[in-house]
Structure 1
């Protein structure tokens, strides 16, 4: 039986996108009939047994960053994200490296950018196989890293939206006409570009879920105050699954003007509920939204308003059903089976 170690450091923060990636993939492994593979989860001590008693668990410690865990007993070592400090100690253990994005290319400049690229290249050199979460990420990897004929596989993320029955409307929702977005509240999400939509419609509200204590969140609040739309902007902070489900289910539209996404999971979650989604036409978003989403080609307020109003007028039951069908192709079952196939063939 082939022994596989799956590195899940990011389970330490279940509210992060990478934390959710690890969690949902592991949960799906629980539900599959896995044969000829012995899966071992390498994760923070706080998450031991998170996927049940049928798997083995290895506790990550700070010491492992100095004295790495011996990988001799493992045939395959899968790192679920590219920034991991935990790598196999021998070339006899085949490394699968999953790369989600290369956002640091835009975030950093000069020496720091070069160091990050050098560190990632070293991991790529060590890997037997590279996996990415979108064709867009694949294109960025091929452009900036030397693969030396290594195989690269696109394995899409799944829709992780938890269906929550009988959800209660949040107390701060005292209006019916609102648009919704969610994510880390950072400049790359470009949420401030949505504010002019509120100026054009005083009955429209915007709910932005995520950490509202960031400098960027405070910048958005200052902009809203200056534009005299503060009463239409709402920052509930980090929300639970039930609240997210209610907001997605009841929003007029999901809006996501992000300028840099490796995948963009909230888009699929919204589409799975048949909601109209409005996205930037940048990075992976056209790939994820397909023909069923509406796209902003610029962030000029008049253009955004025109696309938004035209999209709302165009959206109907048939379009909603097509959005649901499109979203259904992105499943964690499909993702888990694709990874298991890689484990078997290495």
Structure 2
């Protein structure tokens, strides 16, 4: 196979989903290529000072002078741009033989209640990348439907390739360094912002006085985080609400393996990776019915049809009764097993090869 480059610029944000997406996808594609005695795909990484990765032969680190001269593009046949509001660097006039694969994770801006001008600006950015691309990959059928409805892909083929499961089974026996709950606890993982909708879970602490609620993830919107704290305080449940921010992978693994249930009431997702991370442990999972979540959770999850406090409390109570009375653990684990990075890598390599044939 000819030279393939994966643009990993967004790996400069080490706690982001895109960091893990690029890392897992790049590593698994290269395992597949190495097994077939093919040249490895290069990962075009941000400047070394922003990286937490050990250097590998297939790493190509961005330098300042790359803005003027990019010699690595000379032998490139496929450039993979992994995000719909990122960048595409190849100059098609100068490098007409380079084919571009664009991965679109979501058009969530359409589902977050943002003003029309914000939506249109975001769509225009995505459309500009589509116009420079030779093939489109969406990470869910829902995202593909959004793209076909709101964008013009022209004659470019559009594929659906699910993300793989980030296996978090290491060090699950070690107690967390961040905070260890005193008893049973509920868990949510994701950026702490309005879109993730975590505040609707607070009534569960009112109806379940023995439970704690752990929310793990970057405090993306400090105003929203403060709003949750104030709401919890007004309800007298603030001592059992823990907004932990980012934690280590080992701590995350411990929380996933020990939680009573995992809850993800998000209003907009392109995929929903934390959902299957929890499902690999056979945990009961409670989701919103928004965007891609029913596609990923399938019949193995429970769903909130709305977010009134009494509805959230009733769905949780009935779901836990069902989980405890009927054998569901294996079905939940099997649902998570549908998503593997090995299969994702195989499908991406097939897309690359189709552009070079």
Unmatched 5+ stretches in structure 2: none
Inter-CA distance 49–241: structure 2 relative to 1 (3 Å threshold): closer
Distance 2:291 2:273 in 1: 13
> 2:313 — aligned with what?
305
Q: Which of residues 113, 136, 142 is equivalent to 2:142?
A: 136
State how far apart, in whole Å, the 2-side matches of 1:247 and 1:94 are.
Answer: 42
Match of 2:347 in 1: 338
Q: Distance in 2 between matches of 1:230 and 1:49?
A: 38
Contact 2:138–2:160, Cα closer than 8 Å, also in 1: yes
Find the aligned partners of 1:218 and 1:62 in 2 and give their Cα distance: 39
Q: 1:113 to 1:246 in 2, by over 3 A?
A: same
Pairs within 5 Å for 1:235-254: 235-254=243-262
Equivalent residue number for residue 26 of structure 2 = 26
Aligned equivalents of 2:79, 2:237: Cα separation in 1: 51
Q: Distance in 2 between matches of 1:101 and 1:21?
A: 14
Query: Residues 47-196 of structure 1: matches in 2 within 5 Å?
Result: 47=51, 50=54, 52-53=56-57, 55=58, 57-61=59-63, 64=66, 67=68, 69=70, 71-90=73-92, 91-107=96-112, 108-165=114-171, 166-170=173-177, 172-196=179-203
Give the CA deviation at 1:27.
2.3
Aligned partner of 1:4 in structure 2 is 4
SS of equivalent residue, structure 2 residue 215: strand
* Contact in 1 for aligned 2:103/2:138 (Cα 8 Å): yes
Kept after mapping to 1: 8 A contact 2:175/2:254:
yes
In structure 2, the CA distance between the partners of 1:168 and 1:38, relative to structure 1 (3 Å rule), is closer
Q: Is the 8 A contact 2:300 2:332 kept in 1?
A: yes
Contact 2:217-2:247 within 8 A present in 1 as well: yes
Of 315, 332, 340, which residue of structure 2 is paired with 1:323?
Answer: 332
Q: Would the alpha carbon gap of residues 180 and 48 (structure 1) be closer, same or farther in structure 2, given more than 3 Å must change? A: closer
Comparing 308-317 with 189-198, which one deviates more in the overlay? Answer: 308-317
Scaled by the length of structure 1, the TM-score of the pair is 0.93
Relative to 1, partners in 2 of residues 1:51 and 1:309: Cα closer, same or farther, differing over 3 Å?
A: farther
Corresponding pairs, count: 343
Cα pair distance change 1:280/1:48, threshold 3 Å: closer
Flag the 1:75–1:30 CA change in 2: closer, same or farther, 3 A.
closer
1:274-293 to structure 2, matched below 5 A, reads: 274-293=282-301
Aligned mates of 1:23, 1:5 — CA distance in 2: 13
Name the stretch that deviates more: 164-173 or 95-104.
Answer: 164-173
RMSD (Å), alpha carbons? 2.0
| Alpha-carbon offset, residue 211 of structure 1 | 2.5
1:13 maps to what in 2? 13
Unaligned runs of 5+ in 1: none
SS in 2 for 1:75: strand
In 2, Cα distance between equivalents of 1:15 and 1:263: 17
TM-score between both structures, scaled by the size of structure 2: 0.90
User: By how many angstroms is 1:124 displaced?
Assistant: 0.7
Q: Partner of 1:264 in structure 2?
A: 272
Query: How far apart, in 2, do the equivalents of 1:269 and 1:72 lie?
Result: 39
Shift, 1:49, TM fit: 7.3
The Cα of 1:110 is off from its aligned counterpart by 3.9
Question: Higher mean Cα deviation, 125-134 or 82-91?
Answer: 82-91
Alignment correspondent of 1:225: 233
Kindly state the Cα deviation for residue 329 of structure 1 after the two structures are TM-superposed.
1.4
How has the CA–CA distance of structure 1 residues 34 and 308 changed in structure 2, closer, same or farther, with 3 Å as cutoff? same
**Inter-partner Cα distance in structure 1 for 2:15 and 2:88:** 21
